[in-house]
Amino acid sequence: MKTMIVRTALAGLVTGLMLVAAPAAADLGLINMTRGVTESSERIYDLHMTIFMITVVIGVGVFGAMFYSIFRHRKARGVKPATFHHSTTVEIIWTVIPLAILVAMAVPATMVLVDFEDTSDTEMTVKVTGYQWFWGYEYMDENVQFLSRLDRDSDRARQLGSDIQPASVDNYLQNVDRRLILPVDTRVKFQITAADVIHSWWVPDLGWKRDAIPGFVNETWTEIKEPGVYRGRCAELCGRDHGFMPIVVEAVEKEAFQAWLAEQRGDDAAATTAGADDAEAGAELASR
């Protein structure tokens, strides 16, 4: 009778695990961190996987030893409890080993963090300003700046009683009217700040997230390897429309970027005027 119960329970457990594990295995990439499209994002990913594997090994080791001991030394088998209550050797071991593991993990993690702070040798600078509730981008020394807001379609669909199905909008709440265009294979410095409250500029594919704080300028850098469109969002609860200030970065080849920049700068007079209007609107908002 007893063995039958155990067997039924085990069979149930295995079936349950298979049901959970099968779809999970297929979608592992969805629940894991993204590899990203920069060298630093790949370093972060590798670091994350290494440390994850270390914790898995520790977890299996510790829980394995624990469950084995509980099972093997259970009272039902007539095991007598040990009577010792102090062991200096054991205490030294269980202090030194975790300490060594922590130091071993801290060294590569610190190296990645230090690398983020190193904004030397960057080829261009983009200033990012967070506003309630949109982003401002300025290409330093290029005389190009603009504001980037939630795209019209998403904005219309999100209004109360709009009757527009969000699913019918492309990249609902993840699209903007003007994308941040960046060149690939270029070390780009970011200067991140805010004009009203704290925001946070976050594009997962770049590997980092930086707070945009009024009165402070946070610096970091990126170098995108592949052309493409990379989406992100504000990652610091900044007020009513926090969920409606997405970020879209479009990485293009260097020549295409230069052409785009020239177009923005004045070869296209309309674009410059629009940029100036945007800047005024931003300044006005900032002074409120």
Residues in touch with Cu ion (CB under 5 A) = 199, 234, 238
Least Å distance, CB 73 to Cu ion, is: 55
Contact of 181 with 124, CB cutoff 8 Å: no
Report the residue count for the chain. 288
Q: First-to-last CA distance in the chain?
A: 77
CB 112 within 8 A of CB 101: no
Nearer to Cu ion, 150 or 234 (CB): 234
Q: Which residue has the tokens 């040990």?
A: 82
Nearer to Cu ion, 128 or 238 (CB): 238
Question: 108 or 243, CB closer to Cu ion?
Answer: 243
| Residue with Cβ nearer Cu ion (178 or 199) | 199
CB of 99 to Cu ion, least distance (A): 40
Cα dihedral value 178, 203, 256, 283, nearest 10: 40
Is residue 201 within a helix (H) or strand (E), and if so which, with residue range?
strand 199-202
Please, what is the minimum distance in Å from the beta carbon of residue 222 to Cu ion?
20
In whole angstroms, how close is the CB of 271 to Cu ion at the nearest point? Answer: 26
Taking the least distance from each CB to Cu ion, the nearer of 42 and 211 is 211
Beta bridge partners of 183: 252
Among residues 190 and 257, whose Cβ is nearest to Cu ion?
190
Cβ 42 to Cu ion shortest distance, Å: 27
C-alpha span between 200 and 280 (Å, rounded) = 23
Measured from the CB atom, the residue of 188 and 234 that comes closer to Cu ion is 234
Please say which residue, 150 or 252, places its beta carbon nearer to Cu ion: 150
User: Which amino acid type is present at position 194?
Assistant: A
Supply the minimum distance, in Å, between the C-beta of residue 232 and Cu ion: 12
What is the SS3 assignment for 41?
helix
Q: In the complex, what is the shortest distance from the CB of residue 157 to Cu ion, in angstroms, rounded to a whole number?
A: 20
10-42: string of b/e by CB count within 10 Å (b at 16+)?
A: eeeeeeeeeeeeeeeeeeeeeeeeebbbbebbe
Q: Is 65 exposed, middle or buried (0-12, 13-18, 19+ CB in 10 A)?
A: exposed
Residue 63 backbone class (left: φ over 0; alpha: ψ -120 to 50; beta: rest): alpha
Kindly state the smallest distance separating residue 213's Cβ from Cu ion, in Å: 11
